[in-house]
Amino acid sequence: MTGIAAQASAPALPDALRRALIERIESGTLELPLLPEVARQVLSMNVDGEFATKELADLIHRDPAMAGHILRLANTARYAPPIPIVTLQQAVSRLGLKKIREIAMIVSCESRLFSVEGFEGRLRMTFRHSLGAGLFAQEIARMRRWNVEEAFLCGLLHDVGRPVLLQSLVDLRKSIPGDADAEAVDAFVREHHARVGRQLVERWHLSARLAETIEHHHDPDSAPSCSQPARMTRLADDLSHLVVHSSPVTEEAVRRHPMNALLNIYPDEMDALLQKRASILANVESLA
């Protein structure tokens, strides 16, 4: 749920199911999906260093599904190649390591995370929303001259705890009886997804800054050392709710967003962000 939308009270999960889930979250034993090995290696490469185009293309070739997705996404409007890209070596050469890393993470999230039996439609909407948040976070980071690549990951991964919790719920319901209605599921996921998102990012050995930002993106002032990235992510979250994902967020609410002053987002800068609505929505449509 967005940070500026009102949250109504909702019924709770059945006690046994709720206790089992909370025990796993608290003990750190919640089953977390692994980051695909090829994606892990691509993400671990030094973005500032030299890398061999052929070697990177050969690495991606080890995961045929990822290779196919990367070629497909490399030819979308988001990356706008002047002529079609037909080989991985072309993709790496033309796009560069930063963009290949971005695509690898998009592919990993879409194929490994945002797919839970029984929740396909909901998670497709969540994935589209997360893409939008990542793209808006990049725009905010450019305005503030912050790390644009890190900003994209903050937005893309801010809700990764949601599919993890839904998959755990599906798995536990096989052994724990009791019906859980949609409102109860939504309330539980809303309450715990940020903490679980942090656990997943740590499991994937991504940066501590990213993990802290994800955990505190609904309450940035509680972040010990990353309040500004968390504020950026909260604003990007609501901008994406406005543009990509139907929600109670309005343009007026975004213009009066409490994060604007804390991020020094002036009215003309918010105008510039809102003017990107059509292009960001088009990018989400092509990537998802």
- List the CATH number of the domain containing 282: 1.10.3210.10
pLDDT in the model for residue 135: 97
State the average pLDDT over residues 63-70: 88
* 282 and 149 belong to one structural domain: yes
What distances in angstroms separate CA 102 from CA 99, 156, 231, one per listed residue?
5, 10, 22
Q: Which domain holds residue 243?
A: 1-30+119-288
Residue 108 has which token pair? 């990993």
* 106 and 3 belong to one structural domain: no
Final residue in a domain of this structure, among 112, 136, 153: 112
**What is the count of structural domains for the chain?**
2
Alpha carbon distance 28, 33 (integer Å): 13
pLDDT in the model for residue 6: 39
Instruction: Kindly report the pTM of this predicted structure.
Output: 0.90
* 188 and 79 belong to one structural domain: no
Specify whether the CB–CB gap between 183 and 202 falls below 8 A: no
pLDDT in the model for residue 246: 67
State the average pLDDT over residues 253-266: 97
* 20 and 40 belong to one structural domain: no
Alpha carbon distance 30, 195 (integer Å): 11
Q: pLDDT band for 7, please (50, 70, 90 cuts).
A: very low
Q: Please give the backbone phi and psi of residue 276, each rounded to the nearest 5 degrees, phi first.
A: -90, 5
* 189 and 249 belong to one structural domain: yes
Least confident of 106-110, 214-218, 231-235: 106-110
* 77 and 156 belong to one structural domain: no
Alpha carbon distance 150, 190 (integer Å): 24
Angle formed by the axes of helices 227-243 and 277-287, to 10°? 90
Q: pLDDT band for 111, please (50, 70, 90 cuts).
A: confident
* 148 and 108 belong to one structural domain: no
* 215 and 182 belong to one structural domain: yes
Final residue in a domain of this structure, among 58, 90, 112: 112
pLDDT in the model for residue 51: 59
State the average pLDDT over residues 30-38: 90
* 71 and 97 belong to one structural domain: yes
